[in-house]
Amino acid sequence: MQPHNPDLRVTQRRSVILQRFGLGLSLLALSTVCVAMGLRVEPSTPECGAPVIAPAVPPRAAQSRLAESQAVRGQLDVLWVWLGSPTSRYPHTALGSPVHAGSLHALVAGPEGAVREVVYSLPFHRVFEDRVPRLADLDGDGRDEIIVVESDAIRGAALVVLGLRPQSQTDASRDKPSAQGLLELARSPYAGAPFRWLNPVGVSDFDGDGRLDIASVTTPHIGGVLTLHHFRPPVLEPYARAMDVSNHRMGALEQRLAAIVEAPGHRPTVIVPDMQLRALHALRWEAPGQWRELAELKPMAERIERLTPAAGGACALLSDGSWWRVVLMP
């Protein structure tokens, strides 16, 4: 009888999952050493030594935002953005509360330089099931796009991209500067059913075409699928998927559980936990269009509670309170 080997069992399980979905990943045997095909994990200090920077003070208008959500400061045409209009009309508790946002708010500078608030409100059957609006210039036009998770009472969650665009004018006001309003620019396919959620990973040029893409994990609690999307208004077009990952623990407020690593001469790498949140994948989308696993599935000592970007890799906080630096080796 062969000795019990839990790492081998994990590898065999992943092999079955990946073969079933035809993802073409290269599977590598696990080992217990700390350096494994480019992924190094080492003990670290809190925040992995990075300085803790106090967040900017949100504007007065954002004080009534959704509880436990963040107001985010912009650098382009959006000065501040936050989630508002708390509502319990979609009682899913993926983020620990059945209360979500019914509107999104932004502070913008008007034509005369005056700051004003613009509001995007959802219909009764939808909410923003999110706690952090994300800002990125996805199309390189010098304007902010806002990335949020929107959930529908019938179809579940979708990624939605909003942006400031000129509002329609009446004939009597054609000679005046056009006011800016928040409009939907693109959305992803829905998760497919009520209470099916997704969690964004981040933004980068994952396929090397010179344009920014969006990464997210669909259904991170029940069979997570890492998905890469092209920004092709009016749609976010999925073009790559990888199974058996998760970037969120059910009921947790923390949404930061994946990191994107960018290195000169290489496409971006996504470091993301497995479904049990106890091991790390390092995945890169490479030509001619397939996933490459850059490192062995790396077991961690305890459940991963937070995973954030750090120079050359990521910083992991585990459930026992220990901090670990994750380095993607050249």
pTM: 0.86
Which pLDDT band holds residue 329 (cuts at 50, 70, 90)? confident
- Class of 6-168+177-328 in CATH: mainly beta
**Residues 245-253: what's their mean pLDDT?**
98
CA distance linking residue 255 with residue 55, whole number of Å:
17
Which pLDDT band holds residue 12 (cuts at 50, 70, 90)? very low
30: pLDDT strictly greater than 70: no
> Tell me: the pLDDT tens digits for 64-78?
999 999 999 999 999
> Tell me: the pLDDT tens digits for 251-264?
999 999 999 999 99
> Tell me: the pLDDT tens digits for 140-187?
999 999 999 999 999 999 999 999 999 865 444 445 556 789 999 999
> Tell me: the pLDDT tens digits for 32-41?
334 444 789 9
Q: What pLDDT does residue 50 have? A: 94
